[in-house]
Chains A and B, each alone.
Chain A
Amino acid sequence: MDLNTVWFVLLGILLAGYAILDGFDLGVGTVYLTVKKDDERRILLNSIGPLWDGNEVWLVTFGGALFAAFPNAYASIFSGFYSAFMLVLAALIVRAVSIEFRSKHEGRMWRAFWDTLFSVASIVATFVFGVAVGNCIWGLPIGADGELSASLFSLLHPYPVLVGLLTVAGVAMHGSIYLYLKTEGELQQRIHNWIWTSFGIFLVLYLLTTIFTLVKIPRAIQNFDRAPWAWTIVVANMLAIANIPRAISLKRPFYAFLSSCATIAALIVLFGAALFPNIVVASGNPAHSLTIYDAASSQKTLGIMLLVAIIGMPFVLAYTAVIYWTFRGKVQVGRLTY
């Protein structure tokens, strides 16, 4: 495996880390408004309180690593998706502000306002991430000069919208399972129902997306001919999805959560397999696609960065684990909370 491939894989790991970790707190935001009582909303916020900020660091690091490892791809995508990225930034900032602000006042209107913003921002951010992934699989209007230009609305054709909805549903399911672990009593029972609802929607959208991809984008599974082992990921993905209702029925929510994490990870692997060896797929002339070789930094830079990652990542994983261990357990609303 050459350095370019290693960095393609590492970016996949960072993206999967982001999707799994920020996925559950975005998911909590997605289902947030279905809870009406103030105390219960605070339980939801407190379940992600110490963690969401650290989860977003995965996105920052993913962005930084993309910039560093594949600057041409970073530059093309970020400038080409200008409006979409500005929308994501707005959503992430609004989300951060509303988490911190909503409990500073008692007023009902006040709290309703921030609560709505928090939930809408979570859904918008998730949806735009999904749409971005959909467009990357579908192909982008990139020219011979490596520039691409896509208005916000030209990105919203059926396939990316479907992937966007799939992402929202998946994240809602992931967040619901997380909340099931973090709550108890009557609230937990209601969350139990959302798991089934969001799982049902996710399953339907997953099947639709799979069919759509196989029929319309044969390129997405080209790599499977060369690397048949990739089919095991597809199988693993289906098993993980199937294990979610099983684990929930058996009252083993932690296994359901692990399965949900595995589902997200498998989907990211399939996303990578659909792109490889491209990092930006051209929707027009395939020769305009940016491969992991065209788009990359020099071998020297990729090598230094790999060294940095090898030294640093074990520490990151170790203390991330320690921190999650410290904040394990059910959430209550005390006087100390949102």
Chain B
Amino acid sequence: MDLDVADLSRLQFALTIMFHYLFPPLTIGLGVLLVVMEGMYLKTKDSHYEMLARFWTKIFAVNFAVGTASGIVMEFQFGTNWAVYSRYVGDVFGSALAAEGIFAFFLESGFLAVLVFGWDKVSPKMHFFSTVMVALGSLFSAVWIVIANSWQQTPGAVNETFRIANGRAEILDFWKVVFSASSMQRLTHVLLGAFIMGAFFVMSVMAYYILKDRFVELAKKCFIIALLFGTVSSVGILASGDFQARKVAQTQPPKLAAFEGVFRTERATPMYLFGVPDAEAQRVKYGVALPGMLSFLVHHDFETPVTGLDRTPVADRPPVGITFQSYHIMVALGMFFIALTLAGLYCHWRGTLYRKRWLLWTFVVAVVAPVAANQLGWVAAEVGRQPWVVYGLLRTRDAVSRSITAGQVWGSIAMFCVLYGLLFFVWLYVMDHKIRRGPEADLTMPEKTTAAGVLEAAGRLADKGGPSMTEARDGE
């Protein structure tokens, strides 16, 4: 197969964005839980919550560092590989990007230093304030990037939201870009997906401690917080997904048709529970379908037809196979989250949760499910938008940089594979190390305080040993 610059750039983008997106959902979800845990500590003065807050702060910091390192790549890549796209969308994205940089990134990374290294340097209230700021910062970063991406999905009306001038899209109404047809539904969905990720990650680690009979009392307190958060988010995301799918049916009919494998527009459109769509034969093979169900979900009646791919010119149809499967697996995982969290709550109510080892083990391994669901949701959203990069306006193939060669992109793909392999290994290693060590190690830390000189401007003050992003307060 002969891959050209556009194919290779897409491959590279997929590789780098999927790697990057392992981390933001985790930090967004963990951020909210950090606020809860530290808030509980301030309220109850229960030292368990303090230990939990400190432990999860360290985990958060590692993920944040890897997220930043892989995030810089994303920002550079718009320019390096997608120069035509950058020129086309720069004017519309400009405001969202500026807001993201100034309101989200600085907030997050600045206060993170206080969060990680400031336990003994600032008051508990100031520390809690920093935690809230970091959590808000990571929420904001999702807000602006989803707004930018949503404009690409549903650009809105020409000469109302934006206009085409000087060979590019130019913004006319900032608020119409912010509240584009899809932005708020998509943002809700992305954030709930991140909350589920955070909740399942925390539950996984805590269930592991309970099974291994370590930190049991503390782990139970933490587990129940995450379980409640995970249950609410899992149920919420079902509703949000329903809203969003109906919006897609309205604004991007070929995309919904690809999600659901609707090749022909027909009355009482069936919904496939699973199957293998065959684009050549124009039908779904080996499928099990509920007759009329898709019509019902989209139009709330069993008869009205759902627009199929036959209404879209062949050149403008998205690839059906990948879109269908990622969407279906995501939905199935969503159902699994609801089932598992409700089962957990039920057993907790019956008082049997912590005795059901098989259920706890399920929670331990279930952490991979939200990783997959978050990734696949984006695959469905982005592959389903093809062949457009800006829906109906700019084709992905036309958006690629003109001055780069396939050889250069091969080179950078190889480089990213090596670096991300390394980065992933580091991440696993550090996570493993911290989780094995567990939360309690912190409280045995001696305070090493040394009288020392300081910046002349600061006068002479006592100061404690400096730390690293991931190692603060760890022993050797």
Contacts and interface: CB of A to CB of B under 8 A. Distances in A.
Interface string B164-203: 0100101110100000000000000000000000000000
Interface in B424-476: 426, 429-430, 433, 445-446, 448, 450, 452-458, 461-476
Given A93-B423, A335-B445, A64 B75 contact: yes
A148 interface: yes
B386 interface: no
Contact of A100 (B86, B470, B473): B470
A68 B98 contact: yes
B411 A53 contact: no
B465 A331 contact: yes
A254 B466 contact: no
A333 B113 contact: no
Nearest to A86: B412
Interface stretch (A199-207, A217-225, A226-234, A296-304): A296-304
B94 interface: yes
Interface in B32-82: 62, 64-65, 68-73, 75-76, 78-81
A67 B111 contact: no
A242 interface: no
A47 B452 CA distance: 14
A151 to B, nearest CB: 9
A71 interface: yes
Given A67-B75, A68-B97, A149-B403, A326 B430 contact: no
A61 B91 contact: no
B72 A56 contact: yes
A312 interface: yes
B79 A331 contact: no
Contacts of A64: 75, 97-98, 100-101
A57 B108 CA distance: 10
Secondary structure of the B contact surface, majority rule: helix
B98 A308 contact: yes
Contacts of A70: 90
A329 B98 contact: no
B101 A300 contact: no
Interface stretch (B117-125, B229-237, B239-247): B117-125
A70 B475 CA distance: 48
Contact of A298 (B84, B171, B466): B171
A153 interface: no
Interface in A145-171: 145, 147-149
Interface residues of A, number: 88
Which of B86, B87, B465 has its CB near the most chain A CB atoms (within 10 A)?
B465
Interface string B336-376: 00000000000000000000000000000000000000000
B105 A100 contact: no
Nearest to B94: A68
Interface string A321-338: 001011111111111111
B468 A99 contact: yes
A22 to B, nearest CB: 12
A89 interface: yes
A83 B471 CA distance: 34
A264 interface: no
A72 B87 CA distance: 5
A330 B171 contact: no
Given A51-B113, A327-B113, A103 B75 contact: no
B274 interface: no
B445 A326 contact: no
Interface stretch (A28-36, A73-81, A130-138, A273-281): A73-81
Interface residues of B, number: 95
B65 A338 contact: no
A69 interface: yes
Interface string B90-111: 1111110111111101110111
Nearest to B87: A75
B110 A90 contact: no
A86 B91 contact: no
Contacts of A333: 465
Contacts of A327: 113, 117, 121, 466
A104 B430 contact: yes
A301 B91 contact: yes
A297 B94 contact: yes
A59 to B, nearest CB: 7
B459 to A, nearest CB: 9
A85 B95 contact: no
Nearest to B476: A335
A53 B470 CA distance: 12
Contacts of A88: 76
21 contacts: A46-B468, A49-B117, A53-B64, A60-B68, A61-B102, A64-B97, A71-B94, A74-B79, A76-B83, A81-B80, A97-B423, A100-B426, A147-B403, A254-B455, A301-B170, A301-B171, A304-B94, A309-B102, A325-B458, A328-B454, A335-B448
Interface of A: 43, 45-47, 49-51, 53-54, 56-57, 59-61, 63-65, 67-72, 74-83, 85-86, 88-90, 92-94, 96-97, 99-101, 103-104, 145, 147-149, 181, 184, 252-255, 297-298, 300-302, 304-305, 308-309, 312-313, 315-316, 319-320, 323, 325-338
Q: 5 closest pairs, A vs B, by CB?
A: A71-B90, A78-B79, A334-B465, A68-B94, A46-B466
Given A99-B468, A100-B65, A301-B95, 7 more contacts: A64-B75, A64-B101, A79-B403, A149-B404, A316-B106, A336-B473, A336-B474
